[in-house]
Amino acid sequence: MTSTPSTPPTRPLEPQQRAIIIGASSGIGAALVRELARSGYRVAAVARREAKLQELSDSVNTAVAPHSVNTYSHNVTDYDEIPTLFQTIVQELGGLDLIIYVAGVQPSVTVDEYNFAKDRKMVEVNLLGAIAWLNQAALRFERAGQGQIVGIGSIAGDRGRVGSPVYNTSKAGLHTYLESLRNRLTRHGVNVLTVKPGYVDTVLLAENAKNPFWVISPQQAAGQIHKAMQRRKQTVYVPARWGLVGLIIRHIPSIIFRRLSF
């Protein structure tokens, strides 16, 4: 792992909030780095692709304010290094108010394909990586009696679909894990937000969706997620109209749902 520690900017009249974003190098993660930095956060951007991270931090630190973003190169499947890296980041930020887990993979899977290597990668990144990182934050926030945890799930996790069984499973597992954290931590003053995006214009969409609709940009998604965080929502669909779709999907009888091709 590598990091680029920096000196926090001077904000004498306004306490600066501090955030960790895991999966920050592109897509929704990178858009959230920009969104939070513009809102005055000091952000630790964590991702595997070091060059992409550096490009992002250079851009934000130039456009917004020097030292707004620190970068940390890390593969979320390196679970054993997470506790030490988490403590290092918190120390360099000078505390922690928010953590967002965005990291996710979705390799293309055909309807007649059962590829354990692909399936394992999705579970390792989408679910186990989230648990490894968010457990660290949950423990810290519970002791502090404050903080916010955000996990980026998917509307795909609402039902088991034909198209990508294990991607759906990894997101459904993430949703349940976040709900459990919420039920534990709410009594300690900690908010846990589950985000369920629909179609967002990212690499994952290009590789996996044939006829997407209601597509929004990562910047639009980040703005809506930020608003949900500020309102301390618990579960939010992005954009909101996917909530109606999700409601319908969850209530389609299984005997009908299994005949659908999506």
Query: For 216, how many CA atoms within 13 A lie in the half-sphere containing its CB?
Result: 18
54 belongs to a structural domain: yes
53 belongs to a structural domain: yes
Q: What is the CATH number of the domain that holds 214?
A: 3.40.50.720
pLDDT per residue of the chain (262 residues) written in tens, 0 to 9: 555 444 444 444 557 999 999 999 999 999 999 999 999 999 999 999 999 999 999 999 999 989 999 999 999 999 999 999 999 999 999 999 999 999 999 999 998 999 999 999 999 999 999 999 999 999 999 999 999 999 999 999 999 988 899 999 999 999 999 999 999 999 999 999 999 999 999 877 777 767 777 899 999 999 999 999 999 999 999 999 989 988 998 889 888 888 776 6
**Which residues are paired to 235 by β-bridges?**
194
Residue with tokens 């903080």: 147
Q: What is the pLDDT of residue 211?
A: 74
262 belongs to a structural domain: no
| Cβ neighbourhood burial of 4 (10 Å; 0-12, 13-18, 19+) | middle
Residue 115 φ then ψ, to 5°: -110, 105
201 belongs to a structural domain: yes
Token couple for 80: 């054993």
17 belongs to a structural domain: yes
Residue with tokens 């965005």: 102
55 belongs to a structural domain: yes
Q: What is the pLDDT of residue 14?
A: 59
Q: What is the pLDDT of residue 5?
A: 45
How many folded domains does the chain comprise?
Answer: 1
Helix axes of 27-38 and 218-230: crossing angle, nearest 10 degrees: 50
Spatial distance between the Cα atoms of 157 and 173, rounded to a whole number of angstroms: 8
144 belongs to a structural domain: yes
Q: Which domain holds residue 38?
A: 2-257
